[in-house]
Amino acid sequence: MVKKFYFPFLLLILIHPGVGFKTSQLKNARVKVAFTEKESMLLQKLESKGVQTKRLKIFLRVFKREKRIEAWAKNWNTNKFVKITEYAICANSGTLGPKRRAGDEQVPEGFYFIERFNPMSNFYLSLGLSYPNASDRKFSHAADLGGDIFIHGSCVTIGCMPITDDKIKELYTLCVLAQDAGQINIPVHIFPCKLTKESLDSLRVQFKLKPDNIRFWENLKLGYEYFESKRELPKVFVRMDGYYIFQ
């Protein structure tokens, strides 16, 4: 009898670790407004792509040169992601290339996940990224790598990715729905641009005096191509030298 009582309870925790997250977030006035304005439209978008809200899993892909954030989604029990929408990045700082220290005004490049939801941001709503990651720490020689990198509202930035207050309402709502459906980590892949062969050749010419950047982008391209060819997320590992491995 003990096994029959506890097993379903434990299974519920494992499968739905984020249940109740939406309720918690809706205690914040800005999140309430976001859900009022955006939830119905998002649910229609997801339904049109065959994605069920209770089985929702999402993935974000950022392209710095194109100034775009793509939102992809799927059901837990399917492998292939489908593109739901995209958002324009309305301000930027720094140049193409990874972030290696505090104060360099760079937007990071690499493979991250959303680790913070801030419903009381100075930039309306914000989603915090897991920068610096293990790769960033391996490559940087700085005492301070910086932090507090967000996707947020408004149209001002020093190293973040702003998409206007209106659009962050939508993206924040989508991320809350995914977390509430049980997605613990929402991956965010950040690239200098769409890493096609032609784009990488262009970067090699433009940044010929920065061979470290080029080698890093060649490594990122492997992760970009994995998703492009499969519409599935690779498992991402970091080697001892800081470069990524994808499986």
175 is catalytic: no
240-246 contacts: CB < 8 A, separation 24 or more? 240/138, 241/138, 242/134, 242/135, 242/137, 242/138, 242/139, 243/135, 243/216, 243/219, 244/110, 244/111, 244/135, 244/219, 244/220, 246/222
155 is catalytic: no
Q: Which of 16, 160, 175, 189 is catalytic?
A: 160
Q: What is the C-alpha separation between 170 and 165, in angstroms, rounded?
A: 9
Name the residue among 43, 7, 24 with its Cα closest to residue 180.
24
Name the residue among 218, 189, 155 with its Cα closest to residue 64.
189
Residues in CB range of 43: below 8 A, 6 or more apart: 53
Q: Which of 141, 152, 155, 189 is catalytic?
A: 152
Strand pairing category for 236-238 and 124-129 = unpaired
Report the catalytic residues: 152, 160
